[in-house]
Amino acid sequence: MQDNQSLRIPYYRLHPGRNRFCCHGRGVFSRDMCIFTITLLLIISVTVLFFAFDCRFLTPILTPAVPILAAIQFLYVVTAFLRTAFTDPGIIPRATRPEVEWTELSISTGDVSVNDSNNKSEHDVNAVRTYPPGARTRQILIGDHLVKINYCHSCRIFRPPRASHCSSCDNCVERFDHHCPWIGNCVGQRNYRYFILFIYSLSIYCLYILVFSIVNLILLYEKYEDIIMAIKISPAHILFM
């Protein structure tokens, strides 16, 4: 007789949303990764040009710290980018068949006899027990306030507060912010901090490259006294500016 554990199928293999999974379900990303790839290539390309043109001139004139700091920032930006892109944003599992049957019965009768098991959050949440028959909204008690929640026809659940259904990934996501095509993933409860770190670190990195590109252009202009010659020697300035 086979071990029961050998017959278990991980949930990510059965997940009906428009996602791909890697590392045994630990990583999740969108099926459309074209813009994600373009974003990653842009970050790498700008870095290569900065090292090939600006750092080559600035290192002997100023300090070797210029390329070292650029390399550290580049690694941090790419790390934050990949963590945002491959982290589960907070996908809410779809209702199982018994849960769907119970939910549809409670909707048709308007009677909620137990707490809604689909709405799991860090709050103390209790469902109000009586509703008009056919109503696909619920009111839950969070602290001292009643909060209205809506039924998702795709996931067959009542969404928790601040959750929303992503039309791109076809999932309900906890604390859904938006679907970002540049990272190929939704931004939600579990990867929002990585997204913020990516945005801020990328902004600082771009500013860093811009400043030292201008410094390099000024130094080349002072040396050759010709702006056209300075741009020809380091043509990456046109891209950075």
Q: Which sequence positions are flagged as catalytic?
A: 180
Q: Decide if 29 contacts 85 (C-beta within 8 A).
A: yes
Q: Decide if 186 contacts 178 (C-beta within 8 A).
A: yes
Q: Which residues pair with 140 in a beta bridge?
A: 127, 147
Q: Which residues pair with 21 in a beta bridge?
A: 28
Pairing mode, strands 125-127 and 137-142: antiparallel
Give the integer Cα–Cα distance in Å for 154 and 16. 10
Question: To which residue do tokens 């839950």 refer?
Answer: 140
How many Cβ atoms are within 10 Å of 177's Cβ, its own excluded?
Answer: 17
Residues 6+ apart with CB under 8 A from 22: 28, 29, 86
Q: Report phi then psi at 125, rounded to 5.
A: -115, 130
Instruction: Give CA angle at 134 (130, 140), nearest 5°.
Output: 40
Question: To which residue do tokens 């679907």 refer?
Answer: 179
Q: Decide if 90 contacts 188 (C-beta within 8 A).
A: yes
- Output Rg (C-alpha) for the chain, integer angstroms: 26
